[in-house]
Amino acid sequence: MMDRSKILNWLREEDPQRLDALWSQADTVRRENVGEEIHLRGLIEISNFCVRRCAYCGLRADNQDLKRYRMSETEIMGCVRQALDFGYGTVVVQSGEDYGIKTDWLAGIIRRIKAETPLAVTLSLGERPDEDLIAWREAGADRYLLRFETSNRTLYDRIHPPLPGKRSDRIAILRKLQLLGYEAGSGVMVGIPGQTYEDLADDIETFRCLDLDMIGVGPYIPHPQTPLWREMPPSIKTGGRPADPFGGPQFRQNGQQVPNTEGMTYKVIALTRIVCPKANIPSTTALATLNLANGREQGLARGANVVMPNLTPPAYRALYEIYPAKACVFENPRDCHACLHRRILSMGRKVGIGRGDSPRRTSLDARK
Q: Which residues bind ligand SF4 (CB under 6 A)?
A: 50, 52, 54, 57, 59-60, 96-97, 126, 322
By CB under 6 A, residue 93 contacts ligand SAM: no
Between 25 and 186, name the residue whose CB sits nearer to ligand SAM: 186
| 92 counts as binding ligand SAM under rule CB under 6 A | no
> According to CB under 6 A, which one of 311, 322, 328, 336 is a site residue for ligand SAM?
322
Residue 167's CB is within 10 A of a number of other CB atoms, namely: 8
Residue 188 per-residue DSSP state = E
Residue 163 is given by DSSP the state P
Binding mask 40-59 for ligand SAM (x = CB under 6 A): ----------------xx-x
CA dihedral for 255, 258, 262, 263, sign (positive or negative) = positive
First-to-last alpha carbon distance for the chain, in angstroms, is 26
94 contributes a contact to ligand SAM by CB under 6 A? yes
Q: Residues 200 to 219: which contact ligand SAM by CB under 6 A?
A: 218
The helix (run of H) or strand (run of E) holding residue 351 is strand 350-351
User: Closest CB to ligand SAM among 38 and 55?
Assistant: 55
CB of 172 to ligand SAM, least distance (A): 14
Tell me if 126 contacts ligand SAM by CB under 6 A.
yes
Q: Which amino acid does the sequence have at 60?
A: R
* Distance from C-alpha of 294 to C-alpha of 290, rounded to nearest angstrom: 9
Non-local CB neighbours of 360 within 8 Å, separated by 6+ positions = 211, 213, 278, 279
State the Cα–Cα distance between residues 300 and 157, nearest whole angstrom.
32
The entry of ligand SAM, ligand SF4, none that residue 60 binds, CB within 5 to 8 Å by partner kind: ligand SF4
H or E, element range at 91: strand 90-95
- Give least dist CB 51 to ligand SF4, A: 8
Q: Which residues bind ligand SAM (CB under 6 A)?
A: 56-57, 59, 94, 96-97, 124, 126, 146-147, 149, 189, 218, 220-221, 223, 286, 322-323
